[in-house]
């Protein structure tokens, strides 16, 4: 009796998995990509150091400009990868170091976390003020805030609002704040 139940459960799981694969195949078949640049990053396909063996003039390899949302996503990804790398190195150093060095690495790790939280708060508040998108990057020399350009362009009042948010959240002076308009 137990063997029969085990076989029934195994069969039901197998049928469910097969049905899931079939449904996935049906839905993805309709979404076939016609251009390689739809799936891959265009910079990875053709870059200045790419070796071109045969230049065919019939091939149209032009790539449209990236949109502002692509820019913000790329900057966030780059920032996160750099931060993850630094955290990994610090965690490695903490694992193989003595107490004094471990405390120093722990302090650096805490600083990275605080910087990330501060950047996230600034970005949230700038978006809450009505701007489409924003990326903040805190460095030793100050803070850079890249903001998606409003329809009328970035005005002095906009810069003042963004600078006020930065000064209250990150306690930077006006001289250390750079606001960049991304079009």
pLDDT at 177: 92
Q: Is residue 30 part of a domain?
A: no
pLDDT at 143: 92
CB 135 within 8 A of CB 146: yes
Q: How far apart are CA 166 and CA 144, in angstroms?
A: 10
Regarding pTM above 0.95, the answer is: no
Q: Is residue 143 part of a domain?
A: yes
Q: How far apart are CA 180 and CA 183, in angstroms?
A: 10
pLDDT at 63: 35
**Residues of the chain falling short of pLDDT 50:** 32-65
> Which domain range does residue 150 map to?
68-182
pLDDT at 21: 77
**To 5 degrees, how large is the angle CA 99–CA 102–CA 103?**
90
Task: Read off the CATH number of the domain in which 164 is found.
Answer: 1.10.287.4300
If one counts the domains in the chain, the total is 1
Q: Is residue 138 part of a domain?
A: yes
């Amino acid at each position: 009796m137990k063997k029969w139940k085990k076989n029934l459960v195994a069969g039901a799981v197998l049928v469910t998995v097969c049905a899931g694969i079939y449904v996935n195949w049906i839905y993805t078949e309709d979404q076939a990509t016609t251009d390689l640049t739809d799936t891959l990053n265009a910079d990875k396909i053709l870059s200045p150091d790419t070796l071109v063996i045969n230049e065919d003039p019939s091939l149209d390899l032009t790539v449209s400009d990236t949109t502002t949302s692509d820019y913000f996503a790329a900057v966030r990804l780059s920032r996160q990868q750099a931060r993850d790398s630094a955290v990994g190195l610090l965690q490695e150093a903490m694992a193989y170091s003595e107490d004094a060095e471990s405390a120093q690495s722990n302090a650096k790790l805490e600083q990275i976390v605080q910087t990330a939280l501060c950047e996230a708060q600034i970005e949230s508040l700038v978006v809450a003020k009505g701007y489409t998108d924003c990326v903040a990057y805190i460095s030793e020399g100050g803070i850079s805030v890249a903001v998606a350009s409003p329809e009328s362009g970035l005005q002095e009042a906009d810069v003042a609002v963004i600078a006020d948010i930065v000064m209250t959240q990150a306690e930077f002076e006006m001289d250390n704040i750079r606001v960049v308009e991304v079009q």
